[in-house]
Structure 1
């Protein structure tokens, strides 16, 4: 008696286009399960393969990888992705399912992707078919039609509440230990038994009644060093977190810094002030930020040439520079030096897209609004760092403008979670707004 052919195991994951544009390597992250690419997704990727934005790079890389696979990728079995992994296949979609025709009046790419999933559900009822999309609305549509749907979570952090803050507070520190920070500037690890498992460049507020000290852990010497509230280009820290931030920003041994916090906490201002303070150690100071989410679509609605179109997006960086200038008199050498640096391009404010393809040697590089970057974009930026370069990312993970990113999946959260404990890295979460009493009230209450 002939044996029945063995049925495939594992789930069928149907990928939306935005998952591939987020991470071209996504097909390697589904373990033993099979991956399905609707033909509509390939059509959409074709529209994205030209250009210099990150999504264009992701589209090109994915299509290249797909092209290198050998075998019948249109067959039901697909092509194996590797040992211990499932297979990948491309599916053609026919006419829209009746359920889709009833529910939606238009034939759109999203609906054709849904149609591919529904067709697979009917064709392979013994397997679980799951739509993977970063589009919340498409996931809701799928669920309404009885198809399980989920976000792509391979590069998401576990929880916002568990994100590394870069600071801990300890009460009950012996008075003599706190005194030693003011006399010797440091304390040995064994003197602070209360501090458990300190991480490289982690910051501490140490207290005993009215006595307190700010300290940071130096992993190379296994000791704690006092953090002083020092000025940087006439900008003084107004709270402990700002003091920690300036200490990390001006420390030559720390090559990568992330500053997170709500609007008005001083992230960009502190980074720029520190860069100006350390200007002699660097060939150039670069300030960059993403122009708009998902490329430069909005630029066409603004008058003028490219520089004129970009000016409104760069204005917040110029505003911070103006705040620093106002710390000096009109004819003071400090204010004149800033203008000279701008004129000579030793200090440049530029859109982030203009940095692509460059190798950064001895540059103090500040990337503002980093919460609007993907993990891949963050990696691309850091890997451009040459000898003597320092990179600073600033942002607020609760103010994301990119439609397919959130507090858990954005590049700033991803970077913070991955770099914790590295000796070249420091992170500070700024908590108190210092822009004005009104701004702080609005940030907390509205």
Structure 2
């Protein structure tokens, strides 16, 4: 049985190709959705780009037929712009205000009522990224769904970068003695990824354990580098996952490192420490570029007073806090004098200003990457020049972008797309190390 899917504006602004996601069913776009898309076309961010794309796409189909009557889609199904079912009579007693959301619900409800009047059992489904729109729809007996085609994977099932394997103590001892372990000897059926970490634990419960990393040919487990026992620019790993992260950050053969984890797990601090070590001590890179999105990415920050540096300071303060810790500054102005004396070796920038640049021979840290869309993540990765190392980090459970969630954001997308490739490594930090209070708050609140 064919179905009718009525699309909310946020579905098209999140994924402009959404009209192709409903197989051979009918896709209906209410006229009010066109009005909302038109109001977003002038935005200079990702939402504006998608609004303009949807506008051009609809104009292409307009040339193939009358949109209000319906046109065929290439991959099956039909597309129609709905003009005739905008009556608000069924909702006006309960939803008094004629908001755009309520008008979209009214269109879907009137379509369903028309089918029922004709005696036709055609399912009408309202598709929206807005939870309250879905709730209100079902109050009126209208079927509603979230748009899930843009999701990469459920975050709870996403790649963590490591796995715990229980083995005999003899194998752990063998790993330490010969400095490797054959994957085949684990007797553990698993699809391994390059640079994936393995925590070996004694299956009989002793305290014996080891940490290893999958080799590029995925045939052996290799030990971590010796630098994990040392301080990295005054910072030492406090838990297993932080040891894994340092191993990735200091490996010059891995140009892309992705990090996920809650606030306080050490993502930013360890990345900055590794960057300073590589730039100041080893001179591997020319400088370090640290950026984070001014949410949403592309939003103009000109309303703040002062020069660009003064405008950026409130958004970049978490970066400066970590730098103050690493440089052990106590007095106001000390950090600024240190950074000025380093001749701009460290550049702290808003992600807004990265577009259009080519960035070679730099240690690049992108904080709060969970607020990036897939397209924005692609834009950043394609800016990376020869000899650079890119660190993408964030907490997919803490997203400020109105059209993103933990399953469809750019950080989750990059983690899943790159896990099969040897040029990247990933680790999910589990344990908070900011303070005992912060760790407890993250756990129970």
Under TM normalisation by the shorter chain, which class is it?
0.7 to 0.9
Of 202, 215, 219, the match for 2:216: 219
Task: Kindly report which structure 2 residues correspond to 1:336-355, keeping only aligned pairs within 5 A, or say none.
Answer: 339-341=340-342, 343-344=343-344, 346-355=345-354
How many positions carry a matched residue from both structures?
A: 428
Q: 1:133 to 1:181 in 2, by over 3 A?
A: same
Residues 58-103 of structure 1 show CA distances to partners (whole Å, capped at 9, x for unaligned) of 1112212222223224233x222214x2121212256532122112
Find the aligned partners of 2:82 and 2:309 in 1 and give their Cα distance: 45
Find the aligned partners of 2:364 and 2:3 in 1 and give their Cα distance: 44
Residues 178 and 211 in structure 1, CA contact (< 8 A), matched pair in contact too: yes
Deviation at 1:216, TM superposition (A): 0.5
Q: 1:160 to 1:51 in 2, by over 3 A?
A: closer
Residues 36 and 91 in structure 1, CA contact (< 8 A), matched pair in contact too: yes
Find the aligned partners of 1:113 and 1:105 in 2 and give their Cα distance: 14
Task: Please name the residue that 2:132 is paired with.
Answer: 137
Residues 4-23 of structure 1 show CA distances to partners (whole Å, capped at 9, x for unaligned) of xxxxx622211111111111
2:199 is the alignment partner of 1:205: yes
Task: Please name the residue that 1:411 is paired with.
Answer: 410
Q: 1:100 to 1:237 in 2, by over 3 A?
A: same
Of 280, 287, 291, the match for 1:288: 291
Residues 155 and 414 in structure 1, CA contact (< 8 A), matched pair in contact too: no
Deviation at 1:295, TM superposition (A): 5.8
Name structure 2 gaps, 5 residues minimum. Answer: none
Deviation at 1:376, TM superposition (A): 3.0
Deviation at 1:55, TM superposition (A): 0.9
Find the aligned partners of 1:252 and 1:11 in 2 and give their Cα distance: 53
Deviation at 1:136, TM superposition (A): 1.0
Alignment RMSD, CA only? 2.7
Q: 1:289 to 1:211 in 2, by over 3 A?
A: same
Deviation at 1:441, TM superposition (A): 1.8
Q: 1:216 to 1:335 in 2, by over 3 A?
A: farther
Q: 1:377 to 1:294 in 2, by over 3 A?
A: closer
Task: Please name the residue that 1:314 is paired with.
Answer: 316
Q: 1:294 to 1:255 in 2, by over 3 A?
A: closer
Find the aligned partners of 1:222 and 1:315 in 2 and give their Cα distance: 44
Residues 320-346 of structure 1 show CA distances to partners (whole Å, capped at 9, x for unaligned) of 1112112x999xxx99875544x42x3
Deviation at 1:251, TM superposition (A): 1.5
Task: Please name the residue that 1:67 is paired with.
Answer: 59
Find the aligned partners of 2:313 and 2:261 in 1 and give their Cα distance: 25
Find the aligned partners of 2:233 and 2:339 in 1 and give their Cα distance: 11
Tell me the SS of whatever aligns to 1:171.
Answer: strand
Task: Please name the residue that 1:364 is paired with.
Answer: 363
Find the aligned partners of 2:365 and 2:377 in 1 and give their Cα distance: 12
Find the aligned partners of 1:298 and 1:101 in 2 and give their Cα distance: 40
Task: Kindly report which structure 2 residues correspond to 1:28-427, keeping only aligned pairs within 5 A, or say none.
Answer: 28-69=20-61, 70-76=63-69, 78-83=70-75, 85-92=76-83, 95-125=86-116, 126=120, 127-175=122-170, 177-194=171-188, 196-208=190-202, 209-220=206-217, 222-228=219-225, 229=228, 230-279=230-279, 280-293=283-296, 296=299, 300=303, 302-326=304-328, 339-341=340-342, 343-344=343-344, 346-427=345-426
TM-score, normalisation: structure 2: 0.87
Q: 1:66 to 1:178 in 2, by over 3 A?
A: same
Deviation at 1:314, TM superposition (A): 0.9
Q: 1:40 to 1:95 in 2, by over 3 A?
A: closer
Residues 99 and 145 in structure 1, CA contact (< 8 A), matched pair in contact too: no
Residues 259 and 394 in structure 1, CA contact (< 8 A), matched pair in contact too: yes
Residues 359-400 of structure 1 show CA distances to partners (whole Å, capped at 9, x for unaligned) of 333332211112222233223322333333322221122222
TM-score, normalisation: structure 1: 0.87
